[in-house]
A and B are shown apart, each in its own frame.
Chain A
Amino acid sequence: MNWTAAIRKKLSEQLTWENLLPSEQPVYVSSLVYSFGVFTLSALFVVIVSGIIMASKGTLWYQTSHLGYFFRNIHFWSVQAFFFFMTMHLVGQFFMGAWREGRAFTWVLGALSFGIAVVTAFTGYLSRGDFFAQWNQVQAKDAFNGSGLDGYINVLNNGQVYGLHIAVLPIVLIILVGWHLLQVRRLGVVPPYPEKGNQEGDAQ
């Protein structure tokens, strides 16, 4: 079997340009709830850009310079926006039963993204370099140790925590979010629950 040909065939069947960059969508996509996904992505974009700028200048920059303060503010509030929109997106998709009709894996990828985002944000809180970071670092050690994660991470080692925050976890998050998006585009937006008397399409 030719692996390249097989993958090309599979991708070209599943990821058509019409699916990836649609210029039409079903009429049932008509609610504010649908905007939370794209707002989540937009906020994530701002988080990443402000994070890259901060990482490029180093950890003291955002604690000691005015421009550094500004980007720390941007990073902080875009994270708040990201979690707000992501939570609204999650709640909305729950009430729509968005995992129906073959979309369970899309939900799993979304939930995994949420979990990784929480850990990424936590390592960010520990990288602030202020009292809140200091206090949570010494507090968090007991939870990390108690759960057995001490075998992997020393939360008092800023080198490790910062590396996880600016490289390892964001890369995992971006892969998960990208994959989640591809699934959404590949399968299309979940149709509404069928009306009474018509149970067709009520499959999980």
Chain B
Amino acid sequence: MNKARRDPNSFPQKDFDLIKEGTISLVIVVILVVIVSLIWKAPYSPAITNQQIANSNPILFEQTALNDLDGQSAMATYGPPYNNGWKGNITAAQSIGPLNPEAWWGTPYQVIPYSADVMTPLQMLATASSNSQLKQALATYTSASPAQQQTWDQNYNNALAKAKVVNGKMVVPFGSYGPVALMMKDEWSMGKSGLLSGALNRETNQGVYRWNVQNDLLFLQGAPLEQIAKSRDILGGQWGINHDEVADPGPWWLTPYTFLYQIPPYNTSSSGDEMAAYSVGILFLLLLLLPFIPGLNKLPKVLPLYKVIWRDWYKRNV
């Protein structure tokens, strides 16, 4: 290192005005940014609420709530940091060999979709509306055996596959659903009214201030948001975060990261996210430590581009 440090001041000098150059550059950038901002604006399309999904796709809404109730949703079986899965079944655990840092911290952001997305909001609704039928349905469901609950859930799940929406009302084939049909109908009503968001947000915040939107976001995180994201071409496998919903440029600087999601094993492994995160971490370390990596730190010398950049200097010294 530094075996021959040449002093830039020992080279021939020319006039330079740092302040003037900085000011001119700032003026150019301000003008450029203001013009572009006025012409193209910035992308924005409103967030999707569970009220919108309840109104536009009632069957999907009820399926989402039912999956949370019977432990079939992705969040119910997610595992740390949200929960310990559903009856011991964890589907979203990521590990590279024995390395599973996701689980190191336990479950600091606890969400049990059975209670968070269905039972607690419905209990609030029953209390708020003095709805004794709903209260009774919740009590019946809670006191039923797990096998009985599963039978009702399964029957209603099968029925939803054949359900239709006629004139804004859901028509579900006749069957043995116990209290589940009423529970789902009321959950849907709550969703349509917009109150479900309030109930979910209340769960992840202590009291009045609503800064943590975790449960509200997670209610829709599966099929409802995925269907919309797919239609807007922003799924992970569609280069997701790399581009915005519209033609405006997105965060293109994430291209190396997004690229990983297009190739195996990242897009095939269940631990793809963990692998992508660490791969990018290693790439960043290479960039960071480039001056110290033998071979790589001599690369610019081998490539001829520096001759173009300093062509005036080399011409001068011929």
Contacts and interface: CB of A to CB of B under 8 A. Distances in A.
22 contacts: A24-B13, A26-B9, A26-B11, A46-B33, A76-B37, A77-B37, A83-B252, A92-B309, A97-B306, A99-B290, A108-B289, A111-B284, A138-B221, A143-B276, A143-B277, A146-B271, A156-B212, A157-B212, A188-B7, A188-B9, A192-B313, A195-B317
B37 A132 contact: no
Closest 4 CB pairs of A and B: A148-B101, A159-B211, A188-B8, A146-B274
A22 B225 CA distance: 55
Contacts, number: 295
A41 B41 CA distance: 22
Interface residues of B, number: 105
A74 B37 contact: yes
Interface string A61-80: 00100000110111111101
Given A74-B34, A78-B33, A193-B306, 7 more contacts: A46-B29, A77-B37, A81-B33, A97-B306, A157-B109, A158-B211, A162-B211
Interface in B12-38: 12-19, 21-22, 25-26, 28-30, 32-34, 36-38
B173 to A, nearest CB: 33
B25 A136 contact: no
B234 interface: yes
A147 B300 contact: no
Contacts of A45: 26, 29
B19 to A, nearest CB: 7
A31 interface: yes
B214 interface: yes
Contacts of A132: 43, 45, 234, 244-245
Interface in B291-309: 291-292, 297-298, 300-301, 303, 305-306, 309
Contacts of A83: 251-253
B26 A42 contact: yes
A178 interface: no
Interface of B: 1-9, 11-19, 21-22, 25-26, 28-30, 32-34, 36-38, 40-48, 80-81, 92, 94, 101-102, 104-105, 108-109, 204, 209, 211-214, 217-218, 220-221, 225, 228-229, 232, 234, 236, 240-241, 244-245, 248-249, 251-254, 271, 273-274, 276-278, 281, 284, 287-292, 297-298, 300-301, 303, 305-306, 309-314, 316-317
Q: Which of A35, A114, A130 has the most CB of B within 10 A?
A: A130
B312 A31 contact: yes
A31 B3 CA distance: 27
